[in-house]
Amino acid sequence: MTDFLDIDPEVAQALKDKRPVVALESTIITHGMPFPRNVETARAVETAVRDAGAVPATIAILDGVLKVGLGDTDLDRLAQEKDVAKLSRADLAAGVASGRPGATTVAATMIAAHLAGIEVFATGGIGGVHMGAETTFDISADLRELSMTPVAVIAAGAKAILDIPKTLEVLETLGVPVITLGQDDFPAFWSRSSGLPSPLRMESALDVARAIVARRTLGLAGGHLIANPIPVDAEIAAADLQPVIAQAMREAGDRRISAKAVTPFLLQRIFELTSGRSLDANIALVLNNARCAARIAAELVRLDR
Ligand code: PSU
């Protein structure tokens, strides 16, 4: 495995010393945000993790190796490279074998984090059940991964472009604990509330760390979805976004965009239709999740001492 997995020395040392480490994904860099804000955000997120006392480990495939912890040059390369593959569980191994650069989704990042021994991972929003899934069957592999791989994913809920009620139903069926921090409603990425109650609610990073330890001790497979609402001053009201999302989805339908291309297309169109407001909100929520993940990782390390 060492031929395919490359853990950055700083990350490896932190894990060995039982210091907090937070995994970060790369699809958000290559398919979620335009250049150069993508790489600026990737760096700012790493800094936010460090400022909160943890070591960041951004994950991607470069030169035929699954890298856990990217250097500055790696980040620049990834952000500017054309045709980076978006890799999930199904194509992760083929992506590594191809030798071409690849970005990891939430599912693939969870797999890599677990291989490296990292239990906490921050992203923007997880993939979920797409609108119209009753005919397209388009359900993100992120959901099943959460039921299989013991990593806690800190996200601002599920993106509002998804069918959130169905996403919550599938998570329940798969036995994934969905814990929202500090409020009763499950958040919807750019907005603080999806209008739906969260299955579980907790108030602090310590509560979450205790739940992770309990799940591990009980031997229950899978991870946790920790929903961290976007900060109040950064949110976009759901009512303002609804027509924009509807238009972007109509366009995706007209152009027959499908499978992996759907989420990147919608994010890009919503960015254009909101004159960049959606990207500002996205960046704010990712930074917020990075800080939250670092606090959870720190509590987890303390409980494990
Ligand atoms: N969070 C963001 N932007 C993103 C993503 C998360 O703020 O682009 C990515 C994650 O990598 C997630 C993917 O796994 O979107 C979901 O893609 P899909 O809907 O195709 O499963």
Task: Name the β-bridge partners of 155.
Answer: 227
Task: Find out whether the beta carbon of 167 lies less than 6 Å from any atom of ligand 1.
Answer: no
pLDDT digits (tens, 9 = 90+) for 40-57: 999 999 999 999 999 999
**Which residue carries 């500090």 as its tokens?**
182
Looking at the predicted structure, is the pLDDT value of residue 159 above 80?
A: yes
Token duo for residue 108: 């693939």
Give the mutation target among 24, 25, 26, 28 for probing the ligand 1 site: most ligand atoms within 8 A of CB: 28
- Per the CB < 8 A criterion, the answer to whether 224 and 176 are in contact is yes
Looking at the predicted structure, is the pLDDT value of residue 2 above 80?
A: no
Using a pLDDT cut of 90, give the percent of the chain over it: 98
Confidence label for 247 from pLDDT (cuts 50, 70 and 90) = very high
- Per the CB < 8 A criterion, the answer to whether 229 and 157 are in contact is yes
Between residues 7 and 3, which one has the greater pLDDT? 7
What is the average pLDDT score of the chain? 97
Q: Alpha carbon of 268 to those of 30, 59, 94, 115, 123: distances in Å?
A: 12, 22, 27, 32, 18
pLDDT digits (tens, 9 = 90+) for 125-153: 999 999 999 999 999 999 999 999 999 99
Using a pLDDT cut of 70, give the percent of the chain over it: 100
pLDDT of residue 82: 87
pLDDT of residue 1: 61
**Letter for the amino acid at 102?**
G
CA–CA separation, 235 vs 229, rounded Å? Answer: 9
The question of whether 25 is a catalytic residue gets the answer yes
pLDDT of residue 142: 98
pTM, whole model, 2 decimals?
A: 0.97
The closest of 207, 201, 206 to 228, measured between CA atoms, is: 201
**Letter for the amino acid at 113?**
A
Task: Find out whether the beta carbon of 25 lies less than 6 Å from any atom of ligand 1.
Answer: yes
- Measured from the CA of 262, which atom of ligand 1 is nearest? 20
Name the binding residues for Mn(2+).
138
Task: Find out whether the beta carbon of 177 lies less than 6 Å from any atom of ligand 1.
Answer: no
Give the mutation target among 109, 123, 270, 271 for probing the ligand 1 site: most ligand atoms within 8 A of CB: 123
Whether ipTM > 0.85 holds is yes
Task: Find out whether the beta carbon of 38 lies less than 6 Å from any atom of ligand 1.
Answer: no
CA angle 45, 34, 152 (to 5 degrees): 40
Looking at the predicted structure, is the pLDDT value of residue 120 above 70?
A: yes
Name the binding residues.
86, 106, 138, 140-142
pLDDT digits (tens, 9 = 90+) for 188-234: 999 999 999 999 999 999 999 999 999 999 999 999 999 999 999 99
